[in-house]
Each structure stands twice: as structure tokens, then as C-alpha cells.
A and B are shown apart, each in its own frame.
Chain A
Amino acid sequence: DAMVIQNPRYQVTQFGKPVTLSCSQTLNHNVMYWYQQKSSQAPKLLFHYYDKDFNNEADTPDNFQSRRPNTSFCFLDIRSPGLGDAAMYLCATSRESDSNQPQHFGDGTRLSIL
């Protein structure tokens, strides 16, 4: 089945130690999103790629970076994680040939900071 896969499902890192979360998709969608979600709150968009075009949200901390080496893969890099960065990180994709298409989500990576 075509899907969005996030690895790992659970990630533990130390305060200040860089961490990378990964997302892959078999849907061949041209838009990929990264969201942060804390304790059953609404997902908060960090940034998205439209093809290779990177779009950062104005309030996304500089500590968060992203890479999209090809259509299928997208990475979230947290350069120096703080305790406040502990959250669920969700990757989503959409086909944007027209904007009425839903986003398809992976099952997320739950990040813990020691």
C-alpha cells in the first residue's frame, strides 16, 4: 500500500545533542510537511516543501532544519534539542495538482529529551 513512513517511531536524545527524524513516502506526492504536536494539541506546521521549494513558517525556531534530497524522502534536523522540543513530530504529504486534496500522515516520531 502507498503510504507515509516515519522512522524511528520513538527517539530519545540528550539535551543539546543533534537528532534527525526521517520520513519517506510511496505516494509520489510533491508536497511534504513537518508538524510538531504536543500532548493532544493541534498539529503545528513547522515547514513544508513544494517540490524542492522550501517554505519555513515564520515562528519555526532556527533550531529546526529540513532536507528533501528527493521526492520520496524528507528529514527533520533538530540541531540542539531543548526540553521544550519533546513532542510528536508528524510528516505529511499531499498531491497539490489541486488544493482540495487531503494530507496523508505518517504515524509520527515521538521525541523525548533527556
Chain B
Amino acid sequence: AQSVAQPEDQVNVAEGNPLTVKCTYSVSGNPYLFWYVQYPNRGLQFLLKYITGDNLVKGSYGFEAEFNKSQTSFHLKKPSALVSDSALYFCAVRGAPNAGNNRKLIWGLGTSLAVNP
């Protein structure tokens, strides 16, 4: 069965420090991986995706993520955190074509990021 795990419910970092939000996945075939951010009382905003190619993906607001096939991970990173990065972060995966109903995203449970001034 396809699944996504975000092992940390909450991550706390000091402003200016690097941040990492972890995501591991289990999916048959090659995965399509996504990160979304959700601010309070807002919808989810797309940050970045990995489809194929370079394992390091750069996205919005200075975020990047590294795809690691051997570890089945897709951790979200930012070199220098801002207080305004405080939000809920979701990792999601969908199977590659011919992997069933691949229009559906499988969502992680979310990680709450708090960046302290």
C-alpha cells in the first residue's frame, strides 16, 4: 500500500538557523513527490515537487527538498528560517502513471513548524 510518513508532529527552530522537515514514502514504481504549506485559515499552497532528474529540487520562498531513492525520503529544507515560515507543512506522494488511480495524492499527517525569533 502507498503511504507517506512525516515522523515529526512539530519542529522548532530559531530564526536564521537551517530547518529540515522530514518525509518518507512507500509507493510502487517511481514516485511523484510534493510539498505543500498551509498557513492558518488558508488553503494549501504548493511549494515544490520531484518528478525526475536532479535529486535536489528548489521551490518557492527559498525552500528546497532532496529526493533520496535509497532511503525513500524527500526531506524539505531551508538554509535560514524566517518567523514567517511558521506554518503546517504537508508531504504528499502519488504513484507514477500506470500505478492505479494516480490522480489521488497520498498525504502525510503534517508537521507544524515553529520558527522562534
The answer to whether A and B assemble together is yes
Partner of B49, one of A50, A102, A105: A102
Taking CB atoms, residues of chain A closer than 8 Å to B46 are 102-104
Take A31-B103, A43-B44, A108-B42 as given contacts and tell me if A100 and B32 are in contact as well, using a CB distance cutoff of 8 Å: yes
* Residue total for B at the interface (Cβ-Cβ under 8 A): 26
Taking CB atoms, residues of chain A closer than 8 Å to B101 are 55
Q: How far is the CA of A90 from the CA of B94 in the complex (A)?
A: 19
Inter-chain contact B103/A102, CB cutoff 8 Å: no
Inter-chain contact A40/B43, CB cutoff 8 Å: no
B25 at the interface (CB under 8 A from A): no
Taking CB atoms, residues of chain B closer than 8 Å to A45 are 104-105
Taking CB atoms, residues of chain B closer than 8 Å to A96 are 103
Partner of A40, one of B32, B108, B112: B112
A70 at the interface (CB under 8 A from B): no
Inter-chain contact B108/A42, CB cutoff 8 Å: yes
A106 at the interface (CB under 8 A from B): yes
Inter-chain contact A48/B103, CB cutoff 8 Å: yes
Interface string of A74-113 (1 = CB under 8 A from B): 0000000000000000101010101110111111101000
Considering the complex, which residues of chain B in the window 83-117 have a beta carbon less than 8 Å from any beta carbon of chain A? 88, 90, 94, 96-97, 101-105, 107-110, 112
Binding site for B on A (CB under 8 A): 4, 6, 31, 40-43, 45, 48, 50, 55, 90, 92, 94, 96, 98-100, 102-108, 110
